[in-house]
């Protein structure tokens, strides 16, 4: 029987129940898109009037709420730095842990299962708890301990700083990197490992020359997810490094820093005149969205270039 | 029905008589080799003497342990947790099952080609020099020479000489498998293990692999697992028939397929079971 294309397609919808499925899933998608659209519209329409080159490129005076002189360069720098430093720490640790779990550890051993459940538990900890953990462990225990050992009079490491905030974020995003890396390691055909071992390579050589290069795009996906998660977080850095105000841009790892997310919180809650300062708030939100987006875009670009290189053979 | 006359057999003096394979210089000699997955025995008291520079086929129904036996010879079974091996397996005068054996060195002497061709997703040349670099051969012209020799030996040189920098995955299935063979012989092993190397290939590619195996037997001891009994008759000098982890019969291929001593062998090679 020959039917016009449209009817055949329709018949595949499977009658009223099939129709119901399409309507429900379609509606859910629509609701989501509408919410996203509303959010972006409100941020854009509220933020663009106050958004200018001066706004993103100058250091503000202490009064953030003066619409004329408000600026966010230090916050952009601070957020970028803490995300990049976090990446430097979380990637090696996460990747090495994932390699251990997937290439070396005996999957059946209770120890391995214990490590895995520990990782999922880290993933489930609320971020404010990480903030308190960072304060207690990094700043007070590690920082003060190091200060005491080195014997400096004024606390150098034993106070909130860019380093401790980044490390706290690194601990928080560790599970994301581990899980993504493990997944990408699992997707590499076992035949490649066997081929390498059968040619007389050690396990380490196999991991280093065959497995990791193949897994690199997946590892970068882990990095992208970690950056995305960390860029907008405020709670973990609240006690570990973010400052309400610093006069200068952070120059050293031990400096405190201003942060876009925290600044948004400050603008939203401390403003003497909410209506008047709303444009600065929106413009700052816009900057944070843009920054997160461009950090992600950078990593995605890097990944796609890697994939292309791999396809074209090295 | 005997081996084709053109083949330079090291056993020429004895081959026409009732020569059992064990009279020839053994490249691999196993004694009471048993292997267990956990508590399940997969190989039972395998005692084989695989002669040098000949092709030895391992045949038998699925799950009879022929691949497992093959993987004993380069200790690939080490990769599987909970595998226990007892008995002896001598290669080059050394019991390779000893704890002190350098498995890495062993695998450089005993190469392997797998059922599914597994070229690295890199250039053809990078595939070829992978093993060489592991051996510390870094000189480019020396590498080039070995790459060419090995690709020629694997009858692949003419097809790939102009695209050595292209990705190996662009090759056809048969070419990929010949690349894997070339890669394995580039590091000059003494023994080549092949685990159903042609089972995923079309008849023409299979034929080329078989021709290649007959060529290579001049320089290498080849042990090949195959499901294809015609293939075993075409390319092998000796055949071992395995069943339920036991070597039922091991003899010259012609004999196994025409006058087997054991009923079970006859039943299998005539297709009555398996």
- State how beta strands B55-59 and B238-243 pair: parallel
Q: Which of B76, B116, B166 sits opposite A313 (nearest CB)?
A: B166
pLDDT at position B240 is 96
A-chain residues near B122 (CB < 8 A): 313-314
pLDDT at site A234: 93
Spatial separation of the C-alpha atoms in residues A73 and A249, rounded to whole Å: 8
Q: What is the pLDDT of residue B17?
A: 41
Judge residue B240's burial from the number of C-beta atoms within 10 Å of its C-beta, 0-12 exposed, 13-18 middle, 19 or more buried: buried
B6 pLDDT higher than 90: no
Contacts of A192 in chain B (CB under 8 A): 118, 120-121
* pLDDT, average across residues B190-219: 92
Of A12-16, A158-162, A278-282, least confident by mean pLDDT is A12-16
The neighbouring-strand residues paired with A40 are none
pLDDT in tens, B137-155: 999 999 999 999 999 999 8
Contact B220, B189 (CB under 8 A): yes
How are strands ordered across the β-sheet holding B55-59? B110-113, B191-195, B221-225, B55-59, B238-243, B246-252
Residue % of chain B over a pLDDT of 90: 77
Cα end-to-end distance, chain B, whole Å: 24
Chain B neighbors of A311, CB-CB under 8 A: 167
Please tell me the distance in Å from B248's CA to the nearest CA on chain A.
28
Predicted confidence at residue A11, as pLDDT, reads 55
Read off the pLDDT of each residue in A74-100 and give the average, rounded to a whole number. 95
Contact with chain A for residue B67, Cβ under 8 A: no
Q: Is B118 touching A (CB cutoff 8 A)?
A: yes
The mean pLDDT value for A120-145 works out to: 93
Flag whether residue B33 sits within 8 Å of chain A, measured between CB atoms: no
B187 touches chain A (CB under 8 A): yes
Distance between CA atoms of residues A66 and A252, nearest Å: 29
Query: Which chain B residue's Cα is nearest to A210?
Result: B120
pLDDT at A296 over 60: yes
Q: What is the mean pLDDT of chain B?
A: 88
pLDDT band at A25 (very low <50, low <70, confident <90, very high): very high
B123/A314 CB distance under 8 A? yes
A150 class by beta-carbon count within 10 Å (0-12 exposed, 13-18 middle, 19+ buried)? exposed
How far apart (Å, rounded) are the C-alpha atoms in residues A166 and A138?
A: 10
A4 has pLDDT over 60: no
pLDDT at residue number A9: 53
pLDDT of residue B5: 44
Q: Looking at beta carbons, which residues of chain A come within 8 Å of B108?
A: 199-200
Is B236 among the domain residues? yes
Contacts of residue B105 in chain A, CB cutoff 8 Å? 200
Quick one: average pLDDT of A193-214? 94
Q: Which residue has the higher pLDDT, B30 or B8?
A: B30
Does a structural domain hold residue B164?
A: yes
Report the domain count for chain B. Answer: 1
- Structure confidence at residue A104 as a pLDDT band (50, 70, 90): very high
Average pLDDT on A64-80 reads 88
Query: Does residue B100 form part of some domain?
Result: yes
Residue B36 lies in a domain: yes
Instruction: Quote the pLDDT of residue A153.
Output: 73
Collect all residues with Cβ–Cβ distance below 8 Å to B126 and sequence separation of at least 6: A313, A314, B120, B168
A210: chain B residues, CB-CB within 8 Å: 120
> pTM here?
0.83
For residue B69, the model assigns a pLDDT of 96
Q: For residues A77 and B169, what is the distance between their CA atoms, to the nearest angstrom? A: 44
CATH number at B168 reads 3.40.50.300
Q: According to the model, what pLDDT value does residue B4 have?
A: 45
Q: What is the mean pLDDT of chain A?
A: 89
* Helix (H), strand (E) at residue A289: helix A274-311
Q: Tens digit of pLDDT for each residue in A221-238? A: 899 889 988 988 999 999
B182 touches chain A (CB under 8 A): no
A65 touches A266 (CB < 8 A): no
Residue A83 above 70 pLDDT? Answer: yes
Say if CB A229 and CB A176 are below 8 A apart: yes
Six-digit token string for B146: 């070995």
Contact (CB, 8 A) for A219 and A209: no
For an interface test with B, give the residue of A103, A187, A195, A308 to mutate (most B CBs within 10 A).
A195
Using the Cβ of A15 and the Cβ atoms of chain B, whether some distance falls under 8 Å is answered with no
Judge: A313–B76 Cβ closer than 8 Å, yes or no.
no
Render A10-78 in DSSP notation, one character per residue: HHHT-HHHHHHHHHHHHHHHHHHHHHHHHHHHHHHHHHGGG--HHHHHS---S-TT-TTT---HHHHHH
Q: B14 in a domain, yes or no?
A: no
Alpha helices in A232-273 (DSSP H): 235-238, 260-270
Nearest-Cα distance to chain B for A91, in Å, is 24
Residue B230: inside a domain: yes
Cβ–Cβ under 8 Å, residues B166 and A311: no
Instruction: Confirm whether B11 is domain-assigned.
Output: no
Q: What is the mean pLDDT of residues A280-294?
A: 92
Residue A170 corresponds to which tokens in the numbers above? Answer: 């690194």
* Cα-to-chain-centroid distance, residue A22: 34
Please tell me the predicted confidence (pLDDT) of residue B37. 93
* Tokens found for residue B144: 């080039």
Report the gap between the CA of B122 and the closest CA in chain A (Å).
Answer: 5
Mean pLDDT of B26-43: 93
In a domain? residue B114: yes
pLDDT of residue B47 exceeding 70, the answer is: yes
Residue with tokens 């000059």, as numbered in its chain: B188
For B10-23, what is the mean pLDDT? 43
Number of residues assigned to chain A = 314
Q: Alpha-carbon dihedral of residues B188, B194, B195, B200, nearest 10 degrees?
A: 100
Check if the beta carbon of residue A286 is closer than 8 Å to that of residue A48.
yes
Neighbours of A166 (CB within 10 A): 28
B3: pLDDT strictly greater than 60: no
Q: Is the pLDDT of residue B18 over 60?
A: no
Residue with the larger pLDDT of the pair B93 and B189? B189
Q: For residue B255, what are the domain limits?
A: 23-269
Quote ipTM for the complex. 0.87
What is the Cα–Cα distance from B110 to B220, expressed in whole angstroms? 10
Of A191, A200, A209, which has the smallest distance from its Cβ to B107's Cβ?
A200
DSSP letter (8 states) at residue A141: I
């Amino acid at each position: 029987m020959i039917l016009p294309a449209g009817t055949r397609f329709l018949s595949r919808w499977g009658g009223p129940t099939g129709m119901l499925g399409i309507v429900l899933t379609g509606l859910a998608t629509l609701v989501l898109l509408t919410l996203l659209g509303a959010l972006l519209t409100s941020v854009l329409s509220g933020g663009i009037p106050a958004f200018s080159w001066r706004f993103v490129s100058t250091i503000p005076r202490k009064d953030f709420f003066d619409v004329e002189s408000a600026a966010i360069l230090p916050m952009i720098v601070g957020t970028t730095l803490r995300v990049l430093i976090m990446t430097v720490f979380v990637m090696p640790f996460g990747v090495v842990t994932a390699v251990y779990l997937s290439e070396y550890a005996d999957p059946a051993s209770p120890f391995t299962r214990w490590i895995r459940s520990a990782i999922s538990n880290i993933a489930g900890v609320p971020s404010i708890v990480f903030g308190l953990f960072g304060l207690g462990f990094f700043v007070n225990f590690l920082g003060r301990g190091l200060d005491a050992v080195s014997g400096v009079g004024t606390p150098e490491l034993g106070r909130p700083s860019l380093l401790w905030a980044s490390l706290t974020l690194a601990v928080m995003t560790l599970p994301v990197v581990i899980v993504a890396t493990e997944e990408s390691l699992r997707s590499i055909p076992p035949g490649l490992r066997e081929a390498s071992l059968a040619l007389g390579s050690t396990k380490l050589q196999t991991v280093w020359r065959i497995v990791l290069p193949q897994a690199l795009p997946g590892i970068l996906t882990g990095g992208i997810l970690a950056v995305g998660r960390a860029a907008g977080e405020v709670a973990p850095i609240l006690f570990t490094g973010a400052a309400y105000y610093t006069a200068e841009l952070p120059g050293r790892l031990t400096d405190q820093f201003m942060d876009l997310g925290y600044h948004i919180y400050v603008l939203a809650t401390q403003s003497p005149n909410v209506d008047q300062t709303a444009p600065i708030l929106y413009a700052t939100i816009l900057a944070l969205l843009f920054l997160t987006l461009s950090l992600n875009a950078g990593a995605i670009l890097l990944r796609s270039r890697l994939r292309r290189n791999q396809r074209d053979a090295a | 029905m005997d081996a084709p006359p053109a083949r330079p057999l090291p056993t020429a003096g004895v081959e026409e008589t009732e020569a059992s394979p064990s009279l020839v210089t053994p490249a691999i000699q196993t004694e009471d080799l048993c292997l267990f997955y956990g508590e399940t025995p997969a190989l039972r008291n395998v005692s084989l003497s695989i002669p040098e520079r000949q092709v030895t086929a391992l045949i038998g129904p699925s799950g009879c342990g022929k691949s497992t036996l093959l993987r004993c010879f380069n200790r690939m079974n080490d990769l599987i947790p909970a595998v226990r091996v007892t008995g002896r397996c001598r290669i080059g005068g050394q019991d390779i099952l000893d704890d002190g054996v350098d498995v890495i060195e062993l695998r450089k002497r005993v190469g392997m080609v797998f059922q599914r061709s597994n070229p690295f997703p890199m250039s053809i040349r990078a595939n070829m020099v992978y093993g060489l670099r592991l051996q510390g051969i870094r000189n480019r012209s020396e590498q080039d020479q070995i790459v060419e020799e090995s690709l020629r030996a694997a009858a692949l040189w003419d097809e790939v000489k102009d695209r050595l920098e292209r990705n190996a995955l662009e090759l056809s299935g048969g070419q990929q498998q010949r690349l894997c063979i070339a890669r394995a012989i580039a590091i000059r092993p003494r023994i080549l293990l092949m685990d159903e190397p042609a089972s995923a290939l079309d008849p023409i590619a299979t034929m080329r692999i078989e021709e290649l195996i007959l060529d290579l037997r001049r320089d290498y001891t080849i042990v090949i697992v195959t499901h294809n009994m015609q293939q075993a008759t075409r390319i092998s000098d000796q055949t071992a028939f395995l069943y339920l982890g036991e070597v039922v019969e091991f003899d010259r291929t012609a004999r196994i397929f025409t006058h087997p001593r054991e009923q079970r062998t006859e039943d299998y090679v005539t297709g009555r079971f398996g």
